[in-house]
Amino acid sequence: MRIRPVDERDVSVEDDHPVFRVHLWSPTAPAAQVPPERIGWWNDSYELRECDVHDAIAWAQDNSPEDGRYVLQACHRREDGHLAAIVLAGREPAGPAA
């Protein structure tokens, strides 16, 4: 972790209505039946609104599949129209070995 002091006045826009995305990842086969490097994964994705980051993390943890994992992102629509997603928690599983 790297830490440095900042000037909070450098923020030009704040959004107090965040939009989150949660990707819930599940293995395609029970881990006991397949070597870990050969497990495939699939996911379901959800948009969460009218909540804060603590609510979003709790929802992701409560709804993660058994033996699965989640990725929580904060979403932001850029001026060029593209959707930017900032990963806040979790990470995608590694795919099957090539």
Low-confidence ranges of the chain (pLDDT < 70): 30-33, 36, 95-98
Is 67 in contact with 24 (CB distance < 8 Å)? no
Which DSSP state fits 69?
E
Whole-number pLDDT of residue 98 = 33
Whole-number pLDDT of residue 66 = 84
The token pair at 66 is: 């058994």
Q: Which residues of 9-26 are buried (b: 16+ CB within 10 A; e: fewer)?
A: eeeeeeeeebbbbbbbbb
